[in-house]
Structure 1
Amino acid sequence: MNSASPASRSSGVPVIGSFAALGDSFTEGMSDRLPDGTYRGWADLLAARLGARTDGFRYANLAVRGKLIGQIAEEQVDVAAAMGADLVTLVGGLNDIMRPKCDMGRVLGLLEESVGKLAPSCGQLVLMRSPGRRGPGLERCRPRMEQLFAFIDELAGRHGALVVDLYTDEFLADPRLWAEDRLHLTDEGHRRVAEAVWQRLGHPAESDWRAPLPKGVPRSWLARRRADVRFTREHLVPWVGRRLTGRSSGDGRAPKRPDLTSLACEDTP
């Protein structure tokens, strides 16, 4: 049994001595890049907060970029269920619904199976309605996204899971919170997600994660076109190439924290 700090014991919030995060690039932390080139992300930020309040805190991050819900179910769910963590987060399915052909019945079925395994094995399961950057890509996928998120709400009700709703808050659609690849959040975006989960767990707010960014100076037409060209060359074309050849950005990549281990000082974001 992990011992809580006095602040944790007096807050009325259940003590979280261990945390396992499952998913894809969103939970791995892209594109919240650290100076050494590795990714941090909202889950690492949340773990650092939890670890600062509980002695002996342990953290695992099984998420790997590019993973589909079938791969998450096969490679991460049973591993996490065996850990018996106090807190488990599961975010997946968006990589599936972004593809031109998507079997929504299979996606929802695998998600249901995964939640059914995780919920009884952990202290608290957290699911998410993920954010989306405004643009043609989101509009094309919106019906599938809304079907996925409605099912997540249903699963949460059945299994006593918490849902963090990042989808309906318009501020997260602000392009300034998204990296150049237009698929992943910036460091500020990840910080806000960590705050959203923190508050959903019952902790007092440390900041307003819904606050709009300060009004900025609109970019010129030429600057926008140059950004579009750079995005197409550096991100869209390689992404399409991987889809056509059946490859993934996560092929051969291991989770960055495959086991529940203590947070060393150098791991604290």
Structure 2
Amino acid sequence: MVHEQSESGRAAIGSFVALGDSFTEGLGDETSDGAIVGWADRLAGLLARRAPAPFRYANLAVRGRVIDEIIAEQVPRVADLRPDLVSFCAGGNDILRFGSSVDRITERFEEAVVELGAHAGTVLVFTGFDPRNTPVLRRLRGKIATYTAHVHAIAHRHGCPLVDLWSMKPLQHPLAWSEDRLHLSSEGHEHVARRAAEVLGLAPVRHGAGAGARQSLARKPEWQSARQPERLQDLRWAKQHFLPWLGQHLLGKNSTEVLKPKRPELLPL
């Protein structure tokens, strides 16, 4: 298939399939009527405005999925869909489980990247986040940093564009995170979408240095109370959000609800 060229010189992207877990599904970025958006939907919108023909998009991500589940359930679909672009972000839920091996996770990650590369024009991959500002999870910073280093190496070996979430300064601000501090907010998802577009060379990204950006950085999210000491806020967060999440994901007590991808078919956007 012959593609028109984008202004960066890359072949224009006419189809996009997103794979992964809650990060790619878009949790934390909900509309007023409860619809889930997320960085992948936002990136699809940016790509669609550059596409030379009707742009097609599928999002196969499902919250809570570990890397073996993503490889078993989502990766094989790409052989049938054959998109111009596939995004692959997996392993985050595995890393947070007790006793998990980063070496094994990244071995599986690389196997998936090789398989995806055989059926998609471009494979876009993501590192882990830097959890230094998140209570409890900051104790796993070394483990996540090791995973991130592996993903950098995998991207280099296979020529994959890489979104380095670890180094993204806007994601260190509380406004980038939802109240549960486990998923990005709408603002955080927007930052990721624009960074991904920048990595793909398809959209300019303005890292605001003006008054509007400074005002945004000076704001605090609604869930961060100025009247309550930080330690008490952390304890309240652990009780309301982290411990229930721990029981569901780290201890293997996932919901019995059958979850399905929000956009399972590669259809016009």
Question: How high is the TM-score relative to the length of structure 2?
Answer: 0.87
Shift of 1:80: 1.9
Q: Contact between 1:2 and 1:57, CA under 8 Å: does it hold in 2?
A: no
Whether 1:28 and 2:34 are equivalent positions in the alignment is no
Q: Alignment partner of 1:33: what SS? A: coil
| Residue 18 of structure 1 pairs with residue 1 of structure 2 | no
Deviation at 1:88, TM superposition (A): 0.7
Structure 1: state its 5+ residue gaps: 264-269
Gaps of 5+ in 2: none
Q: Is the 8 A contact 1:19 1:58 kept in 2?
A: yes
- Read off the aligned partner of 2:101 and give its amino acid letter: D
User: 2:164 maps to which residue?
Assistant: 165
Stretch moving more, 69-78 or 171-180:
171-180
1:89 is paired with a residue of what secondary structure?
Answer: strand
Residue 113 of structure 1 is matched in structure 2 by 111
Counterparts of 1:56-67 in structure 2, within 5 Å, are 56-67=54-65
Counterpart contact for 1:29–1:41, Cα < 8 Å:
yes
Instruction: Give the number of equivalent residue pairs.
Output: 260
Change (3 A) 1:224 1:96: same
Which residue identity is paired with 1:90?
F
Closer/same/farther in 2, CA of residues 200 and 249 from structure 1, 3 Å limit: farther
- Alpha-carbon offset, residue 160 of structure 1: 1.3
| CA distance in 1: counterparts of 2:92 and 2:8, whole angstroms | 35
Partner of 2:243: 237
Query: Residue 47 of structure 2 contacts residue 202 of structure 2 at CA under 8 Å; is this kept in 1?
Result: no
Amino acid of the residue matched to residue 23 of structure 1?
A: G
Counterpart contact for 1:81–1:121, Cα < 8 Å? yes
Shift of 1:246: 2.2
* Partner of residue 68, structure 1: 66
Output the CA distance in 1 between the equivalents of 2:145 and 2:170.
18
The yes-or-no answer on 1:154 pairing with 2:153 is yes
Match of 2:181 in 1: 182
- Give the Cα separation in 2 of the matches to 1:102 and 1:43: 27
Task: Identify the match of residue 35 of structure 2 among 17, 34, 38.
Answer: 38
Match of 1:246 in 2: 252
Tell me the equivalent position of 2:202.
203
Shift of 1:245: 5.7
Which of residues 44, 47, 62 in structure 1 aligns to 2:44? Answer: 47
Secondary structure of the corresponding residue to residue 261 of structure 1 = strand
Q: Distance in 2 between matches of 1:256 and 1:164?
A: 23
Contact 1:66 1:249 in 2 (8 A): no
Could you tell me how far apart the structure 2 residues matched to 1:161 and 1:202 are?
Answer: 13
Spell out, residue by residue over 1:138-197, the C-alpha distance to the aligned partner (whole angstroms, 9 max, x if none): 421112212111111111122111111120233311122111111111001100100000
| Inter-partner Cα distance in structure 2 for 1:165 and 1:244 | 25
Across the aligned residues of Structure 1 and Structure 2, the Cα RMSD in angstroms comes to 2.5
Alpha-carbon contact 1:85-1:123 (below 8 Å) kept: yes
Give, as a single letter, the amino acid of the residue that structure 2 aligns with 1:176.
L
Whether the 8 Å contact between 2:93 and 2:249 is mirrored in structure 1 is no
